Amino acid sequence: MLVSRQASLWSACLTLFVSAALIGTGSILFPSPASAQDINDAVTFEDLGFTQRLAVGARPAGMAGAYVAAGDDVYSLIYNPAGLARIRRIDLSVGFQYATNDVKNVFYGTSSETGFSSTTLDAVAIAYPIPTYRGSLVVAGGVWRVMSSQFDILNRGFNTDTGTFDDYLLQQSGSVYSYNLGFGVDLAPELSVGMNGFILDGTINALTQFSYRYPPPLQDGEIETATLIDDAEVDLDGYGLTLGLQYHPHHLLHFGLAVTMPTSIDLQGNALTEEAWYRFNAADEFAVDQFVVEDDYTIPFRVDAGVSFTLPQLLLSLDAGYSDWTQAEVNNVRLKDENLNAVFREVIDIRIGGEYLVPGTPLRLRAGYALTPYALDDLQADRIEGNAIQKAKVDTERQTLAAGLGVLLNRVLTIDASFEYQTGKRSIATLADERTSQRVVLTGSYRF
Amino acid sequence: MTARRLCRPLLIVLTTTLAAPACYTLIKHPRVNTAVYEEVQDSRCTSCHYEDEVWGFHHPPAQRFYAGEDYGDWAFYYAVPWWYDSYWYFVPSEPGTPLQHVRDLRPGVEKGTIDGTTGGPIGPPPDVKSTGGSIRAKDTNDSGKAKTDEKSDERTVRPKSDKGKDEAKQKDGDKGKKES
């Protein structure tokens, strides 16, 4: 009657623990297929925020991140380090971001909604142009918030597949910061290259609570309600490398290319799990356990290419990024379903941005649009069970509208602000998943 | 993912980028025994210097900025290398305008004119030996009305027109043989 109910976040460990607990209590265990484990890992991959890069810096964010060819400041270190070679003055930049996120789920016909906000550091970075007689050589370093692990989700309703009232809640907080060091150099008057080596660091806290309740009639000794509280804290470490190139065949035309090597992320931490089984006309059972979390995630290669045009008072930029997420790995294993089809997919995202310099003023206005399809091809309705997995139907592809402005003060200080609105919706027969977010980035850059 | 997978591309890129700047980007000026204005025509010099800009170097300010001409404060923000001690900046004059207006892009310094009759002080450009370049000639004019800084009695601007160039050459010749 009873099947294994596993938490999604630290699924590998929890599966073992729950299985052992259930076996110990004499319950019948129906082990999940290996593919369910993979989809759990894939869902966790997305929950942790590893499948989406944030647009850092108010100026790039105001152009929806279309900065591979247009980048000409310290933020080029992230988007395309070759753009560093366009910097002529020492550039110090500091930024903060404020974000709100909403997740609206329809779980087996029942709607739930969660929302949260966060205020964090966005960037601290400096670029130093080395004096040259010809060409350009610029070194830069900085800390950026490149991924957000802030995530809340609530799945609540009657699960018709298991015949239980399910209540699944995940509250997760944390950010992934990237510590970068790189340079850009001119190889020719029209050609620049650059490199950025980065180390990822962060702490993620995840509180998972779920319960499932069987409706009557029940026989004596059967589980009436089971609950689980899993509190985990993990440290995140990773590293990677980005190589970039910018080509300027004409002063009105610029091309950019950036390749990010596979990024390795290591999660290590501890989790405390408390479980309770309330039985019908029988003694209740409780269990507390502590275990170690240790997982390796690999974000696959990413290639970004862009072109930008500089017209009088106007900058237009178009970027496209490709990443084959089927090469994503968890613990050196690619994630596939029961038919050995990848649960991730290849993704091409498009970013378009523009910047208008208001004549005779120190003001610049920006706007942008980004289409960033989901890397995860499947959706999982039953996070407790680690089940009800289907290929997702994309109702609204994830996309971002951006706007921003910047002002130059006293020739040396720019203050930039951006606003982004992102939305996307996927669904399967038993779950609709709609996510929206709004983000404001404020950046100040001083040129010495 | 292992570190080994990163090593190969890292080594290739490092080798390339460390070797490549020697081909184009220069952080040390080549040794030159004598250099007067006329010798700028020498290919050794013109590979780096503009034809009409002896003391400037290839740092095209507008090439990678917006298209167009005058971007005022933005030009300082984006285009003027921080190690340039001189911030003189040409603003193209209208045909028939008696004076070429020159802006000092340093923060807090008022606009001046080429003869220093108005605006803030016009200082002498630094020695090329120490700065590796001092003058940014952003554009040229067709009037040929080259004006030089009388107060400083130094080279400040050189227009492209022959007449202006002749005047500049003469002044350069007077001062000549400063650059090594």
Q: What is the pLDDT of residues B44-92, one digit of tens each?
A: 666 666 554 544 444 444 444 554 555 667 777 887 788 765 444 444 4
In this predicted structure, what is the pLDDT of residue A400? 95
Q: List, in sequence order, the alpha helices (H) in chain B.
A: 3-19, 43-46, 72-79, 128-131, 162-175
Residues β-bridged to residue A286: A276
Give the pLDDT band of residue B145 (cuts 50, 70, 90): very low
Residue range B8-20: mean pLDDT, rounded: 61
Place of tokens 């400083």: B152
Rounded to whole angstroms, how far apart are CA atoms A10 and A268? 11
In this predicted structure, what is the pLDDT of residue A366? 95
3-state secondary structure of A366: strand
Q: Between A208 and B107, whose confidence is greater? A: A208
Q: Between B43 and A186, whose confidence is greater? A: A186
Report the predicted TM-score, pTM, of the whole model to 2 decimal places: 0.75
Rounded to whole angstroms, how far apart are CA atoms B99 and B146? 9
Rounded to whole angstroms, how far apart are CA atoms A378 and A355? 37
Q: Domain A11-447 carries which CATH code?
A: 2.40.160.60
Question: How far off is chain A from B5, nearest CA to CA, in Å?
Answer: 9
| B111 at A interface, C-beta within 8 A | no
pLDDT 10s digits, B158-170: 333 333 333 333 3
Q: Quote the ipTM score.
A: 0.75
Q: List, in sequence order, the alpha helices (H) in A281-341.
A: none
Place of tokens 């709609």: A434
What is the residue-averaged pLDDT of chain B?
48
Two structure tokens written together for A435: 């996510």
Which of A132, A185, A309 is the best mutation test for B, with the most CBs of B within 10 A?
A132
DSSP β-ladder status, A431-447 and A413-428: antiparallel
Nearest partner of B90 among B159, B143, B144, judged by Cα: B159
Place of tokens 């290398």: B81
| B24 at A interface, C-beta within 8 A | yes
Rounded to whole angstroms, how far apart are CA atoms B156 and B135? 7
Rounded to whole angstroms, how far apart are CA atoms A152 and A375? 19
Residues β-bridged to residue A103: A114, A435
Determine the Cα angle at A167 with ends A165 and A173, to 5°: 170
For the purposes of burial, counting CB atoms within 10 Å of the CB of A215, is it exposed (0-12), middle (13-18) or buried (19 or more)?
exposed
User: For every one of its 448 residues, what pLDDT tens digit does chain A have, with 9 covering 90 and above?
Assistant: 233 343 343 443 444 333 333 333 333 333 344 455 667 888 888 888 888 888 899 999 999 999 999 998 999 999 999 999 989 889 999 999 999 999 999 998 899 999 889 999 999 999 999 888 778 899 999 999 988 888 888 989 898 888 889 999 999 999 899 999 999 998 888 889 999 999 999 999 999 999 999 988 888 888 899 999 999 999 999 999 999 999 988 878 899 999 999 999 999 999 999 999 998 888 888 999 998 989 899 999 999 999 999 887 889 999 999 999 999 988 888 888 778 888 889 999 999 999 998 887 889 999 999 999 999 888 888 888 777 678 888 888 899 999 999 999 988 899 999 999 999 999 988 889 999 999 999 999 999 8
| B91 at A interface, C-beta within 8 A | no
Which of A80, A91, A133 is the best mutation test for B, with the most CBs of B within 10 A?
A133
Contact: A88, B81; criterion CB under 8 Å: yes
In this predicted structure, what is the pLDDT of residue B50? 56
Which 34-53 residues of chain B touch chain A by CB within 8 A? 48
pLDDT exceeds 70 at position B132: no
Contact: A88, B61; criterion CB under 8 Å: yes
| A315 at B interface, C-beta within 8 A | yes
Nearest partner of A275 among A261, A299, A291, judged by Cα: A291
Two structure tokens written together for A416: 């930039």
Give the pLDDT band of residue B110 (cuts 50, 70, 90): very low
CA distances from B39 to A194, B42, B173 (A): 35, 5, 11
